Structure 1
Amino acid sequence: MRQNQRAGDNSINVQGDVVNFGVSYRDAREIAKDVFEENIVKFTQVARDTASERAHDFTDKLISSLPVEALKSLQDPDVQRSLFYAQQEFACSGEQDLGELLIKLLADRMQSADRGVKTLALNEALRTAPKLTSRHFAALSVLMVCIHTKLGADSVERLHKSLSQVLSPIAKDFQITRADVTYLEYAGCLSSTAFTKNLGDAFSSTYPGLFTKGFMGDWILEGSRSALIPLTQECLRDPEMIQLPILPKNDILKLADQEAFRPHKKEIERLIGIGLMTAEEIEREISRIDEDLADFPERYNSSSLVNCQLTAIGTTLAHTNLKRVVGDHFDAELDVWVH
C-alpha cells in the first residue's frame, strides 16, 4: 500500500517502525574509520596496511567502550581531530599500554560536552600521552595517590588494604630521575613548588586520624575540655586514648571554624599535633604493607617529586593511567580534580 507524507514547517517526516535520530554504533565505527583513512599520511603499502589494521582495532575498542549517547560527539570537528591524533599515534607505535590509555582519554573526552577546563585538559593530555614513557605515567600516578588523593578508609587495616590495591601496582614500576622530572615539567605535567613534602609528611597530613597514638582527655585544656570531648572518638591504635575525627588536617580545621568550636580553634590546632606518628614511623609502616612497597618510601623521598605537584594535564594523565592499571579499585571520576 502506497503511503504519502506531507510535512509542515519545522517538522520531520518519519516512516517505518525503527527511528534513530542519533548515531548508531555501526555509523560511529564508519565515521571513526573514515577519519583515519582520509587523513593518514602516505606510507608504503605494507606500512599502510599495518597502520590501518592497528587504527581499526583501536577504533573498534574505543566505540565498544562508549555508551550510545556519546557517539554523536563524533560529529564534532574537535573530537574528530583528537580521534585522528590518537589513531595516528597508536597506528605508528602499536604499544598496547599507550593504546589503552588513549582509548580511556578519548572515551572521557567524547563524554565531556562542555568546553571547560576538563575538556581542554583531556585534549592536551591526548597530545601529551604519546610523548611519555610507562615510567612517566607511573610517576604521575604515584604523585596523585600520595599527594592529591585521600583513599576512603576508616581504619588502619582498610587503609593498608587500599594502599596495597591502589599504590602497590604503580609503585613497583616507580623509578624516576631528575631528568625525567625536568622533562615532565617541560611537557606541562608537573610544576615545581618551594616546599618539600616527603612521603611520611604527606600521609600524616592526609590521614592524621589514622597515624596517631592519641591523647588523654585531661590533656585538653580545661577551658575547652567540655566543648571538645564530644568531637573526639576512641583512638584507633590505643583504646585507652582518644583522638580527633578521622579526617584530613584541612577538614579538621574547617570544623574548627564552625561556630560551636571557633572559640577553641587554637586548642584544636594544638591537639592535631599531639600523638602524631613521626614521618619515619609512618614510612616504616607503609614499607611493611607488602613487598612492592618495601623500599618505596626510600625511592619516593630520594626523587625530585617531593618538590612537585601535578598540573591539570598531569592530573588527567595520572588519573587515566591509575584507572587503567588498578581498575575498579580506583573509581573516583576525573571531575573530582579537574573541573
Structure 2
Amino acid sequence: MIWRQHQKGGDNSQNIQAAIANFGLGYDDVLSVVSNYVESALERYSADAFAEARRRVEELTINYLQKIRDEAPETLINVREPAVQAALLDAQTAYAKSGDASLGKVLVTLLASRTKSADRNIQQLALSAAISSVDKMSTTHLNLCSAHFFASTVIAAGLKVPDELYLFLKATTGPFVENLEASPSDLSYLLDVGAVKADVVNEMKLITEYFKRYPGLFCGGVTADRVPHFDWHVKQGNVAPSQRSAGLYQVTSANLDDLAVRLNGSQHEEDLGVLSSLLLENPMSEEAAFLEMSDKIAGFREFSDLWERRNGLRGFTLTVTGLAVAHAHAQAVLGRRLFFADLETWIA
C-alpha cells in the first residue's frame, strides 16, 4: 500500500472524489461518512486545526480506499452498514487527533479487515474494539503487542532447519524487538486499554516458548539406528545429517504438525509416532539455544529480559482485541507479502 502524504491546508474533497471515482467504488456512501464526520466533529476546532484535521481525515480515507481497491473492492458495499460506519468514524477520529503515519497504517489495515464483512461475529467485534484501542496506544505499545504475538502465538509452518527459523524471526520479530524499550507502566497500560490480560500461571521463559513450538529445530541429533526405514526417509528428505552434532541425524521438521503433513499419505506414514518422539530427543540446552538466538536476532537478549523480568511480558496474555491489534500492526509494518496470514487463523 502506498501511504500518501498530502500538503497541509486546503480542501482535499476533490482528491477523495477522484479516488472513489477511479476505484469504481461506493462513492456516495463513503463520501457521506467523511462529510458527516468533518461537519459534525471538526467544526469546533479553530480554523488552522480544522484544516489540518480535515486533511488527516481525507488522507486516511484515501489510503483506506486504496487498500480496499487492492485487496477486496467488492466489500466496500459493507460501508453502508452502521457498524462499519461507526468503525470508520472511530478511525477518522483517532487519526484526526494524531496524524501519526504509523498509527494511520494500522487503522487502515484494521478498517480494511473490518469492511470485509458486515456480520456481527467475534472477529468483527474484535476489529472494532481494536480500532478504538489503538487510538490510545503509542508505537511502543503497538510494538509490544506484535512482539508478544510472534513470541507466544504465531507458528511458522514448514521450517526444516534452525537457520530457516532465524531467517523467519529476523524478518518478522526483529522489527518489533530491536531497540524496544518499555517500562512497567507501559505493560500495565496495555492492561488498561484491554490489549492484554494478566496470566499469573505463565512462568515460561522466552526461549522455552520457542522450544515448545519448534522442538525439532533444537534437537541435538540422534543415531541412524533410531530411525525406522532410515534410507527411505533420508531419500525423501524427512531425515538429514544433524547441523548440530557430527555423525548424528535429525528429523527435518520443526514440530509434530509439520511432520504429519510431510508423512501424510506416504509409503511409511506409520512412522509418524516414532519420528515425532525423535523430535524431542537430545535437545540442546536452553542456555545454548538462548546464546544462539541472541547472536542471530538483534534485540532478542533485551526482549528476553523484558519478557522475564518481574511483572514482565510473560505475566500477560494477548486478549482477542490485543490479537487484532498485534496482527494489524504486524501486517502494516511487514506487508502482506511477508506476513500474509489472515486474522481468522487466530480469531474465528
TM above 0.5, yes or no, is yes
Task: Give 1:208 shift.
Answer: 0.9
> Where does the alignment leave 5 or more consecutive residues of structure 1 unmatched?
1-19
1:150–1:206 Cα contact (<8 Å) kept: yes
1:29–1:63 Cα contact (<8 Å) kept: no
The answer to whether structure 1 residue 242 and structure 2 residue 249 are counterparts is yes
Task: Give 1:64 shift.
Answer: 1.8
Q: Structure 2: how far apart are the matches of 1:261 and 1:183?
A: 50
Q: Between 127-136 and 238-247, report the one with greater CA deviation.
A: 238-247
Deviation readout 1:264-288 (Å, 9 max, x if unpaired): 96x7786444211222211111111
Counterpart residue number, 1:8: none
What is the one-letter code of the residue matched to 2:327? H
2:68–2:76 Cα contact (<8 Å) kept: yes
The answer to whether structure 1 residue 116 and structure 2 residue 116 are counterparts is no
* Cα distance, 1:186–1:290 mapped onto 2, change above 3 Å: closer
Counterpart residue number, 1:59: 61
Aligned match of 2:331 in 291, 300, 323?
323
1:32–1:59 Cα contact (<8 Å) kept: no
Deviation readout 1:6-65 (Å, 9 max, x if unpaired): xxxxxxxxxxxxxx9x97254354233223124315222332222112111111111121
> Where does the alignment leave 5 or more consecutive residues of structure 2 unmatched?
1-20, 263-268
Aligned match of 1:72 in 77, 98, 103?
77
Q: Between 310-319 and 28-37, report the one with greater CA deviation.
A: 28-37
Counterpart residue number, 1:15: none
Task: Give 1:151 shift.
Answer: 2.3
Aligned match of 1:306 in 306, 311, 314?
314
What is the one-letter code of the residue matched to 1:30? L
Counterpart residue number, 1:206: 213
Counterpart residue number, 2:165: 159
What is the one-letter code of the residue matched to 2:124? T
Q: Between 86-95 and 183-192, report the one with greater CA deviation.
A: 183-192
What is the one-letter code of the residue matched to 1:311? T
* Cα distance, 1:236–1:271 mapped onto 2, change above 3 Å: closer
The answer to whether structure 1 residue 275 and structure 2 residue 282 are counterparts is yes
1:137–1:317 Cα contact (<8 Å) kept: yes
* Cα distance, 1:73–1:132 mapped onto 2, change above 3 Å: same
Counterpart residue number, 1:34: 35
Q: Secondary structure at the match of 1:209?
A: helix
Q: Secondary structure at the match of 2:296?
A: coil
* Cα distance, 1:228–1:310 mapped onto 2, change above 3 Å: farther
Q: Trace 1:139-154 onto structure 2 (pairs within 5 A).
A: 139-152=144-157, 153-154=159-160
Deviation readout 1:114-135 (Å, 9 max, x if unpaired): 2211101001001111111111
What is the one-letter code of the residue matched to 1:281? A
Q: Secondary structure at the match of 1:309?
A: strand
Superposed CA RMSD: 3.1
Q: Structure 2: how far apart are the matches of 1:247 and 1:274?
A: 13
1:28–1:71 Cα contact (<8 Å) kept: no
Task: Give 1:235 shift.
Answer: 4.5
* Cα distance, 1:35–1:248 mapped onto 2, change above 3 Å: farther
Q: Structure 2: how far apart are the matches of 1:227 and 1:309?
A: 42
Task: Give 1:201 shift.
Answer: 0.5
What is the one-letter code of the residue matched to 1:305? L
Count of matched residue pairs = 311
Aligned match of 1:84 in 89, 105, 112?
89
Alignment TM-score, normalising by the size of structure 2: 0.78
What is the one-letter code of the residue matched to 1:120? L
Aligned match of 1:338 in 323, 326, 347?
347
Q: Secondary structure at the match of 2:123?
A: helix
Q: Trace 1:218-257 onto structure 2 (pairs within 5 A).
A: 218=225, 220=226, 226=228, 233-237=239-243, 238=245, 240-244=247-251, 246-248=253-255
Q: Structure 2: how far apart are the matches of 1:92 and 1:250?
A: 46
2:106–2:328 Cα contact (<8 Å) kept: yes
What is the one-letter code of the residue matched to 2:135? P
Task: Give 1:333 shift.
Answer: 1.2
1:35–1:80 Cα contact (<8 Å) kept: no
Alignment TM-score, normalising by the size of structure 1: 0.80
Counterpart residue number, 1:107: 112
2:105–2:332 Cα contact (<8 Å) kept: yes
